Amino acid sequence: MSEQLCPCGSGKSYDGCCGPYHARRSDPPTAEALMRSRYSAYVLGDAKYLYRSWDEQTRPSLPSLRAIPPVQWLGLTVERRQAGGLDDEQGTVAFVARYLDGGRVVELAETSHFRRRNGKWVYVDGDVS
């Protein structure tokens, strides 16, 4: 799917966006890039990526991530971000993700918290509103 648009909705190709992060060719430089790559990983069912992009102190087990039932993701909108840049150690990204559940569109609004661990961004936790 390398030539196809990235599932995160950036408008870039998968190879020019989240693909290299999933393939371990590079690391997301910002908290928002990590957040987008995690959304794409949900779309693609990449439980391993969700696991390794999650802070080891808060992450669920890999089998439990693999057991998440797939849903049809419809899109991602990043609403706000605070810090999470190239020179930051922590960051917050607020987003809305939409998916289909039994023919019904569900909007998941979350404010996610990120931090750097060994220089790499990881997801810590989120407040669902």
Which residues bind to Zn ion, rule: CB under 5 A? 6, 8, 10, 17-18, 36
In angstroms, give the least distance from the CB of 100 to Zn ion: 20
Minimum distance, C-beta of residue 4 to Zn ion, in the bound complex (Å): 11
Cβ closest to Zn ion, residue 10 vs residue 90: 10
The two three-digit tokens of residue 37, written as one number: 């790559």
Nearest one of 40, 11, 5 to 23, comparing CA atoms:
40
Helices and strands (H, E) in the chain, number of each type: 4, 4
- Of the pair 36, 59, the CB lying nearest Zn ion is at 36
Q: Which one, 36 or 38, has the nearer CB to Zn ion?
A: 36
Q: How far is the CB of 14 from Zn ion (least distance, A)?
A: 7
Question: Of 78, 82, 116, 84, nearest to 96 (Cα)?
Answer: 78
Are 106 and 98 within 8 A, CB to CB?
A: yes
